[in-house]
């Protein structure tokens, strides 16, 4: 029996096929996971967490102070050019030409010298007039009080009241008298009582009839007051 040996089919390498399948499967799984993470927002959340931290680190840094602007350039002074106006030359003075042939009877030029100026007088100090001393104040007027002591007046003393004698009344009365300019007693009043009314009234009645030498001011008679004491005594 002839047995015909059939050729073996080629044996494929199982491991090679499995490794390629694993690689392809891994790539598909990785892409699927990435697509799922992108759709679910996981990658965005990770980016949001990482990025703000870096941005926060940048914002925490204090800002640098702004540099001051440079000062403006100083204005350049333009030199002022002074233009000098040319001064015209002075006009030539006319020159006198002497006449070689002077005419007869021609007056000869004689220069009369000018008189010297009078000297300036220096100011003379005038002494101030002496100030008169102030006038002395007027002297106080000379006043003379009225008087009743003149002998020519013949003024009688008052009568002693008989009742006062029997009772032993005595004392001095001071009478205030207003004497007119002609020497009459115009008014009499008690200045100080003797202590007894009868004695006081007797003094007033007598002095009211008296004559006086009038008071005077600088020798001129005038009315004035005078006190006349009138004693009553039993001694």
Helix (H, G, I), strand (E, B) or coil at 127: coil
Residues above pLDDT 90, as percent of the chain: 35
How do residues 47-64 score in pLDDT, each as one tens digit? Answer: 454 444 455 445 445 556
Q: How far apart are CA 206 and CA 159, in angstroms?
A: 8
Which pLDDT value is given to residue 31? 73
Which pLDDT value is given to residue 137? 84
Q: Is the separation of the CB atoms in 153 and 206 below 8 Å?
A: no
Element (H, E) at 60: helix 42-60
Which pLDDT value is given to residue 151? 78
To the question of pTM greater than 0.85 for the whole model, the response is: no
Which pLDDT value is given to residue 13? 46
Q: Pick from 227, 136, 131, 210: which is nearest to 176 by CA?
A: 227
Q: Report the side by side order of strands in the sheet with 220-222.
A: 143-144, 215-217, 220-222
Burial of 214 (0-12, 13-18, 19+ CB in 10 A): buried
DSSP state of 94: P
Residues of the chain with pLDDT under 70: 1-18, 37-66, 68, 73-113, 121, 123-124, 126
Q: How far apart are CA 180 and CA 97, in angstroms?
A: 117
Quote the mean pLDDT of the chain.
75
Please, what's the b/e burial string for 9-45 (b: 16 or more CB within 10 A of its CB; e: otherwise)? eeeeeeeeeeeeeeeeeeeeeeeeeeeeeeeeeeeee
Q: Which are the contacts of 69, defined by CB distance < 8 A and separation ≥ 6?
A: none
How do residues 21-31 score in pLDDT, each as one tens digit? Answer: 777 777 788 77
The Cα angle at residue 157 between residues 156 and 162, in degrees rounded to 5: 125
Q: Which are the contacts of 215, defined by CB distance < 8 A and separation ≥ 6?
A: 143, 144, 145, 146, 179, 221, 222, 223, 224, 226
Q: Which two tokens stand for residue 208?
A: 């009211």
Which pLDDT value is given to residue 84? 66
**Number of neighbours of residue 232 by Cβ within 10 angstroms:** 22
Q: Which two tokens stand for residue 99?
A: 């006449």
Which pLDDT value is given to residue 224? 94
């Amino acid at each position: 029996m002839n047995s015909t040996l059939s050729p073996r089919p080629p044996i494929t390498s199982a491991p090679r096929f499995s490794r390629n399948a694993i690689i392809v499967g891994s790539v598909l799984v990785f892409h699927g996971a990435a697509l799922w993470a992108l759709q679910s927002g996981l990658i965005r959340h990770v980016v949001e967490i990482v990025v703000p931290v870096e941005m926060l680190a940048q914002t925490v840094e204090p800002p640098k102070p702004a540099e001051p602007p440079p000062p403006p350039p100083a204005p350049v002074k333009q030199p002022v050019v002074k233009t000098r106006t040319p001064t015209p030359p002075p006009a030539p003075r006319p020159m006198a030409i002497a006449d070689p042939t002077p005419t007869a009877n021609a007056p000869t030029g004689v220069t009369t010298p000018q008189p010297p100026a009078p000297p300036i007088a220096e100011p003379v100090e005038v002494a101030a007039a002496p100030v008169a001393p102030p006038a002395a104040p007027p002297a106080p007027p000379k006043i003379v009080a009225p008087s009743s002591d003149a002998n020519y007046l013949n003024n009688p003393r008052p009568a002693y009241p008989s009742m006062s004698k029997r009772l032993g009344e005595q004392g001095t009365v001071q009478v205030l008298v207003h004497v007119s300019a002609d020497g009459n007693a115009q008014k009499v009043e008690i200045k100080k009582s003797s202590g007894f009314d009868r004695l006081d009234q007797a003094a007033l009645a007598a002095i009211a009839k008296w004559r006086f030498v009038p008071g005077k001011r600088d020798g001129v008679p005038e009315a004035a007051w005078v006190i006349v004491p009138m004693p009553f005594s039993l001694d």
